[in-house]
């Protein structure tokens, strides 16, 4: 079986349909304190962290079932201190980007615009194109909101990407849904990129205008199978919480 999924991605799950990538590499970008680690840890462990090591950058993986198909989701939780610098380490690796801001912090939203520009400049025209999802985090802080939902939607629409608001400290299923939605987007893109390009004008108009705020799909029932960091794997260390030693988990 060969997968039409470039950039040296591997294929090791035999039951994956031909056009579907068996791995999905998600890079999480955003300003300091926007909640990148909290979202990552929530997805991996269902728990919320309140303290973290801001210099910790690592890649974690989790075997997931998304729409009855297995996929290895790898998550790179980045620790850039001042916006997009030294992006080479993830630009070629990512199948999807989460660009995260905190809805109660206007400047974190401004940093997102820089990330959007950097990432879309790199990804546009690639086959398959890495998918970008804008995330307004800390939805539980709505009463302190500094970025309106329509501002988020407008930015996403400017770059033609999906947009969700979420909270890393509330329910696990909505955080998981966003990661699964990223997998779906990556699969759609993989499928699109192996199809000949016969798009009617009507369809093109629909797809161009459809970017923007999207209601979360019903939470998937898939359950977390394993939690391992790639570093831990390579050193054959015990999986799970040892990899998260930079976090305090509640
Ligand atoms: N209320 C609330 N707090 C959150 C949420 N997500 C993260 N936080 C808190 O915000 C702070 C920063 O969260 P992190 O996940 O460490 O943010 P980060 O983007 O990884 O930060 P850096 O590692 O410094 O880049 C922590 O105190 C978290 O507990 C959320 O959804 N709601």
Q: What distance in Å separates the CA atoms of residue 175 and residue 231, rounded to the nearest whole number?
A: 24
Residue 15: inside a domain, yes or no?
no
pLDDT over 80 at 10, yes or no? no
Q: What percent of the chain lies above the pLDDT cut of 90?
A: 47
Best mutation site among 29, 35, 37 for ligand 1 pocket (most ligand atoms within 8 Å of CB): 35
pLDDT of 156 reads 96
Residues 6+ apart with CB under 8 A from 54: 32, 33, 79, 81
Residue 123: inside a domain, yes or no?
yes
Residue 226: inside a domain, yes or no?
yes
Residue 6: inside a domain, yes or no?
no
Residues contacting ligand 1 via CB (< 6 Å): 30, 32-38, 49-50, 52, 54, 79, 137-138, 140-141, 167-169
Residue 86: inside a domain, yes or no?
yes
Q: Whose CA is nearest to atom 8 of ligand 1?
A: 35
Cβ 79 vs Cβ 56: under 8 Å: yes
CATH number of domain containing 226:
3.40.50.300
Distance 152 CA to ligand 1 centre (A): 19
pLDDT of 26 reads 96
Distance 19 CA to ligand 1 centre (A): 36
Residue-wise pLDDT tens digits, 151-188: 999 999 999 999 999 999 988 999 999 999 999 999 99
Among 80-94, 134-148, 161-175, 234-248, the minimum mean pLDDT is found in: 234-248
Residue 198: inside a domain, yes or no?
no
Tokens matching residue 154: 């407008």
Distance 131 CA to ligand 1 centre (A): 23
Domain total for the chain?
A: 1
Q: What distance in Å separates the CA atoms of residue 29 and residue 112, rounded to the nearest whole number?
A: 8
Structural domain range at position 163? 23-193+215-249
- ipTM of this predicted structure: 0.98
pLDDT over 60 at 4, yes or no? no
Cβ 38 vs Cβ 48: under 8 Å: yes
Distance 232 CA to ligand 1 centre (A): 24
Residue 220: inside a domain, yes or no?
yes
pLDDT of 221 reads 34
- DSSP label of 222: -
Distance 39 CA to ligand 1 centre (A): 8
pLDDT over 60 at 104, yes or no? yes
- Residues 33-42, mean pLDDT to the nearest whole number: 93
Residue-wise pLDDT tens digits, 72-97: 999 999 887 666 777 777 888 999 99
Residue 142: inside a domain, yes or no?
yes
């Amino acid at each position: 079986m060969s997968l039409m999924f470039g950039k040296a991605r591997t294929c090791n799950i035999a039951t994956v349909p031909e056009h579907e990538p068996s791995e999905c590499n998600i890079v999480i970008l955003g300003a300091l304190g926007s909640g990148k680690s909290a979202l990552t840890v929530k997805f991996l462990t269902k728990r919320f962290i309140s303290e973290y090591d801001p210099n910790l950058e690592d890649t974690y993986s989790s075997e997931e079932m998304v729409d009855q198909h297995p996929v290895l989701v790898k998550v790179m939780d980045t620790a850039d201190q001042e916006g997009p610098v030294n992006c080479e380490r993830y630009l070629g690796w990512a199948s999807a980007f989460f660009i995260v801001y905190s809805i109660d912090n206007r400047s974190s939203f401004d940093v997102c615009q820089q990330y959007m520009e950097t990432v879309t400049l790199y990804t546009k025209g690639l086959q398959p194109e890495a998918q970008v999802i804008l995330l307004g985090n800390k939805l539980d802080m709505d009463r302190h909101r500094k970025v309106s939902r329509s501002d988020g939607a407008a930015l996403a629409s400017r770059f033609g990407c999906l947009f969700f608001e979420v909270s890393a400290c509330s329910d696990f299923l909505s955080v998981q849904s966003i990661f699964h939605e990223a997998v779906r987007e990556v699969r759609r893109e993989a499928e699109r990129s192996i199809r000949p390009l016969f798009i009617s004008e009507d369809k093109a108009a629909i797809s161009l205008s459809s970017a923007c705020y999207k209601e979360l799909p019903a939470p998937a029932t898939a359950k977390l199978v394993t939690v391992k960091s790639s570093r831990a794997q390579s050193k054959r260390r015990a999986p799970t919480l040892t990899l998260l030693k930079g976090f305090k988990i509640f």
